[in-house]
A and B are shown apart, each in its own frame.
Chain A
Amino acid sequence: MENKVEFEQEVSQFGEDLRRLKEEVQKFIVGQGDVIDGVLSCLMCDGHVLLEGVPGLGKTMLVNTLAKALSLPFSRIQFTPDLMPADILGTNIIEEKAGGKQFVFQAGPVFTNILLADEINRATPKTQSALLEAMQEKIVTVAGKTHKLPRPFMVLATQNPLEMEGTYPLPEAQVDRFLFKLIVPFPKKDELHEIMNRTTGKTTPEISPVLTGERINEMRELVRAMPIAHELSDYALRVLEATHPEGTDAPAEVKKFVRFGGSPRAAQAILLAARVRALAAGRYAISYDDIRSVVKPALRHRLILNFEAEAEGVRTDDLLDSIMKKLKEN
C-alpha cells in the first residue's frame, strides 16, 4: 500500500513539476499554450523541436526562457549560409602546454543542454547534417574522436516559412529527427496587449529555475515506464498507416495528395508524447484524446505531399484531420 502511495505521489509530482515549469515560461511568454506544451512534451520525451513561425513571434524568447527556467546551459546558433560544421560541433586547435604543442578539442556550441538552432534552414545541407549526428546519437565525432553531449540535450530549431530565398529546406531525413514540428501562431489581440505591457515596461519578469537536469532525466524515465494498452497503440499505428496512400484506412485525400506517409519514428513520437500528456494530467494510462492531441505536431513534418497537393495548397494538418475523422477508436 505504501508503494502505491509513493507511486501516486511520484505521478502527481510529475504533473506538478511540469505545471510549474510551464507557469515559469508563461511569465515571459504570453499565450502560445500549445507551443509551450509541445516543447515541454519534447523535453520530457528526450526529443527535439522544430518551431516554425514568422519572425517576431517569440520563438527565440521561448527557448531562452525555457533554458533559464531549467537552469541548464543554453547555446544559440544563428544559422547562416556560411556557417560551417566546425562552427557548431567544435574543432581541434593547437595549444602550447608545458610538454609542447598539442591538439586540444575546442567544443562547439552544440555542447550544451539546450541548443537553439535559429533559422536552421539558412545553413547549407553540409552544416545541417552536422547537427544530425548530434541530434540522433547525442554524440559528436571530431577528428576521429567521439565526444558525448551532456544530458539532457535538446535542440530547438526555428525556421521562417516566408523568406524562402537563399534557404536550404531541411532534407526529409533531418526533419524526421525532430520529434515535433510546432507552428507558432500569431498572438491574439488580448495576448498582444499583454505582450506589449510586459515587454515595453520598465521591468521585465524574472525567470527563476524550476527544474534541474537530473529531475528532467528522472521524469523522462517515468514517461518511458508507462505501459500502453494494446488497443491504443494499435490506434496510433492505424493513424500512421492511414497517412500512407497505400494504407487500407487511408482517406481519399491522403491517397490523392500524399507521396510518402509518416515513418515509424512518428508513431514513437505519438506514443511518447501521449504518455507525457497523460502523466501531466495525473493519469496512469493514455487515452485516445492524448493520441489525437499529438498526432498533428508529430506527423505534420513527416508527410511528404505530392505536386498536386502543393499546387492546390493542401496542408498536412487538413489531411491529418481527415484521417482522425475517418478512423474509429475500435
Chain B
Amino acid sequence: MPAMSSVVLPAQLNSSLSRTRFRLRFSRFIQKALPIWSVLGGVIVFASIVEHAEWIEPAWMRNLQWMLVAAMAGVAIWSVSRVITVHQAAALLDAAAGGDTVIPAAVSFARHPQEGPFVEMTLSQAAAHTARVTPAKAVPLLFPLAAMALPFFGMSYIAVPHVVEPPRLFWGMVGQPSIVNQLDLTPNFAKEDPEFTVLKEEIQDLLRQTELFGNSKTKELARELKRIVDAVEKGVMQPSAAAAKAEEIAKALANGNDNDPTTKEMEAAFEELAKTLKKEKEFSDLAKAFEQKDFDSVKRELSKIEQQRAAKTPEDQKKMDAAMQKAMDEAAKNLETKAAQAQAKAKALENQKKSGEAEDARKDAEKYRRAADTVRQMGKSPGEKAEALKKRMQEAEKSGDKEQADALKKAMERMQKAQEQAQKNKQGQQQGQQQGQQQGQQQGQQQGQQQGQQQGQQQGKQPGQQQGQQQGKQPGQQQGQQQGKQPGQQQGQQQGQKQSTSQNMGDSVDNYMRNRSEQESQQKTSNTAEEVREAMKRLRQGGQCKGGNSGGRQSGVQDFFRRANGGQPGQGGKQPGQGGQKPGGKQPGGGQGAGIGSEDGGKLLGKTERTEVKTTDHQLDTKRQGDGPTRQQIILGASDKGFSKTQYKEVYTKYQEAAKEVLKDEKIPPGYKHLVKVYYRLIRPREGQ
C-alpha cells in the first residue's frame, strides 16, 4: 500500500466549523431561550399592569419584574453556555452535505492524529463535502412561533405606563363609582391618618427650630416642606410625588448642618491653656475650670480675675496681664510643639506607607497649629481677631483649601454676629445711660451715673458692656460717638481703653460657647429633619399602598390598629374609611377610624415568624374541677373590687410625656421614634375618655 504524507484539516473546513458552532449556539438561544422569554415577557407585562394599576403593592411588582428580568438573563446564559463541540458542528455539516460521517471522521483524524492514505482521502472527501454545504444550511435558524409574541410584549410593556392608570383601570374593572363614592375619593393621604398627622407635627417642629436656629437656606427648605404637605392635604399634589420630593428636602435638611472645625481647635487651645495657667497661683481656679470644661465657671473666674485686677495698681495690673500673656504664650508654644510632633509623625507614617494614619496625624498637626494661633489671638481684641481670621481665610482660599476657607468664613460670620449682638447690647446700655443722664439732669449727675451703671450691669456682663459701664461714667462725652459705629471702627475708638488680657480671653470663651450652642441647636434641627425624613419615607411606603387597594394589608396589623383606635377585634370592615366615623377631625371620639388598621402596620411591626417548636400536652391536676366561673361571675367579681377612677386622658398624658422625654433624651433611631409617635397618636384620648 502506498504511503502518503501527513495531513492538515482544510482551512475551509475549519472556517465552516467555526461558523457552524456559532450558528448552533445562536440557534439554541432562539429555540430554547425565546419561548421561555415569551412566557416571562408576558408575566412581566402583566406585572407591569398590576404595578401601574396598583392592584397589589407596586414595590412588590417592581421587584417581581426585576426578578423576571434576571430570570430571562439566566435563561439566555443557560441557552448559550452549553458546550458545543467541534464534533457536533462537524456532524451537522456532514448531515447537511449528505456525507457518511466523513466530516466528523476528518475532524477526529485531525484531533487524534493518524496517518495513512485513508486519512488523506477522508480529509479530501471532507473538504469536498464542505464545499457543497454552508453553515446556514447545516444550522437553519428557525424562529419558534412563541417567539413572535415577544415584540408584542415589548410594545405592551412600553405602552403600559401610558395607558394604565390606577383609578381608570380599577373603575373599568369594578364599575364607575357613584358621585358619593367620587366624593369619597379624596386622597387617602389627606384623610385622618396618624402617620400624616405625626408628619405635620414634625414639620411644625422643624419650622419652629429652623426659625429659631436655622439659616436662610434651612428656613426656606422647611417652608417648602410645609407647602408640599399642605398641597397634598388639599389634594393638589399626588402623594407619591410629594413624598419623594419632600423626602429629598428632608434629606437636605438633615445633612445641611455641619460641624465647625474651629470649635475643636478652641477646645484643644483651652485644654493646653488649662495646663499652663495651672502654673500661676492666681489663675489656678481658672485653670481648673478650663480643665473641667466648665465654661460657666471659666467665665465666673475670669470675672473674678477682672475684679481683682481692677482693684490693683496699674503696675500690678501690668504684671497680672503679663503673667496671663506668658501662660498663653507658653500654651501656644506647647501647641506648636505638638503640631511639629504630629507633622513629624505624619511624615514617618507616610514613609511607612500608612496613608490613612498619616492623614490623621496631618490633621492633628493642623489642628494644633490652628489651636496655637487661637491661643495667640485670645489676648487680642475682637477687631484684631477678625482681621487675623480674614487673613487666614484668604490664605486658605489661595492654597485651594476650600473646606477650611468655608469654615473660617463661617467663623467670621459668627464673630461678626457676636459683635453685632454686643453692639446691640451696648446700644441698649447707652439708652439706659441716656435715661440716667436725663434723670441726672433732674436728680443730679451722680444718681444718673449709678443708674446707668446698674442698667449696664443688668444687661450683661459682656466686656463691651463693661466698657459701657466705664463709658457710662462720662455719658455726655461718649454718647454721640458710640451710636451707629461698626465693630471694626470701634477698635479705633477703643484705643486708650484697651481691654485686659483676661477680658479678651472672656471674649474668646463667649465666642466658643456661642458656637457650641449654635451647633447644638443645629444638631437638634438635623435630628428633627431626620425624623421628618423617616416620616416621609414611611408615608411614601404607605402612600404607594394607599393609591390602589388598601385592603392588601396584614390582617393582624389591621386588627391591632383598629383596636388601638377603640374598635373591637374583627370590626372595621374590608373597606376601611367607609361607614365609620372619621377619627381625629370633627368627631375625634368616633370609635374605630377610617383607614386606620389598613396602613403600614406590616412594615412597622416587621415580618412575623413562626418558631418551630415541639409541644407536649400536659394535663394539669388542679384543685378546681368543672367549667369554672361564668363570664358574668367574673365581671361581677371584678366590679366588687371596684373600677379604676383615673381618667384615661390623665393616664395618656402621663405616659406620653414620659415617652416624649425618652425620645428627646435618649439615642433612638428616627424610625423607632416615628413608630412611638404614631402609636401615641393612635391611642390618644377621644371625647369622654
Contacts and interface: CB of A to CB of B under 8 A. Distances in A.
Interface of A: 3-4, 6-8, 10-11, 221-222, 225-227, 229-232, 278, 281, 283-290, 329-330
A226 B106 CA distance: 13
Given A10-B1, A285-B125, A287-B101, 16 more contacts: A4-B4, A4-B121, A11-B121, A221-B1, A227-B114, A229-B104, A231-B105, A283-B100, A283-B102, A283-B125, A284-B118, A284-B122, A284-B125, A285-B102, A285-B109, A289-B100
Contacts of A226: 118
B87 A7 contact: no
A261 B522 CA distance: 89
A254 B310 CA distance: 119
B663 to A, nearest CB: 70
Interface string B98-136: 001110111011011010111111100100000000000
22 contacts: A4-B117, A222-B1, A225-B118, A227-B116, A227-B118, A229-B108, A229-B109, A229-B112, A231-B87, A231-B105, A232-B104, A232-B105, A232-B108, A284-B121, A285-B102, A285-B125, A286-B101, A287-B102, A289-B101, A330-B87, A330-B91, A330-B104
Given A3-B117, A7-B117, A285 B105 contact: yes
Interface centre among B91, B106, B118 (most CB of A within 10 A): B118
Contacts of A6: 2
A7 B121 contact: yes
A74 B2 CA distance: 34
Contacts of A10: 1
Nearest to A10: B1
B491 interface: no
B2 A7 contact: yes
Given A232-B108, A329-B91, A330-B88, A3 B122 contact: no
Given A3-B4, A232-B101, A285-B102, A227 B121 contact: no
B5 to A, nearest CB: 10
A298 B668 CA distance: 85
B100 A229 contact: no
Interface of B: 1-4, 85, 87-88, 91, 100-102, 104-106, 108-109, 111-112, 114, 116-122, 125
Contact of B111 (A221, A230, A286, A288): A230
A283 B106 CA distance: 13
Interface centre among A10, A222, A227, A330 (most CB of B within 10 A): A227
A284 B125 CA distance: 9
A230 B112 contact: yes
A74 B105 CA distance: 39
Contact of A330 (B2, B85, B112, B121): B85
Nearest to B94: A287
B87 A227 contact: no
Nearest to B114: A227
B126 to A, nearest CB: 9
Contacts of B85: 330
Contacts, number: 80
A225 B102 contact: no
Interface centre among A7, A225, A285 (most CB of B within 10 A): A285
Contacts of A286: 101, 105
A31 to B, nearest CB: 26
Interface centre among B88, B117, B121 (most CB of A within 10 A): B117
Contacts of A329: 91
Contacts of B108: 229-232
B24 to A, nearest CB: 12
Contacts of A288: 101
Contacts of B102: 283-285, 287
A231 to B, nearest CB: 5
A231 B107 CA distance: 10
A285 B120 contact: no
B433 to A, nearest CB: 110
Contact of B105 (A4, A229, A281, A330): A229
Contacts of A8: 121
A8 B118 CA distance: 10
A222 B4 CA distance: 15
B668 to A, nearest CB: 64
Contacts of A230: 108, 111-112
Contacts of A289: 100-101
A290 B102 CA distance: 12
Contacts of B1: 7, 10, 221-222, 225
A7 B112 CA distance: 23
A288 B108 CA distance: 13
Contacts of A283: 100, 102, 125
A290 B105 CA distance: 13
Nearest to B88: A330
Contacts of A231: 87, 104-105, 108
Contacts of B109: 227, 229, 285
Contacts of B111: 230
B3 A3 contact: yes
Interface centre among A227, A232, A284 (most CB of B within 10 A): A284
Contacts of A11: 121
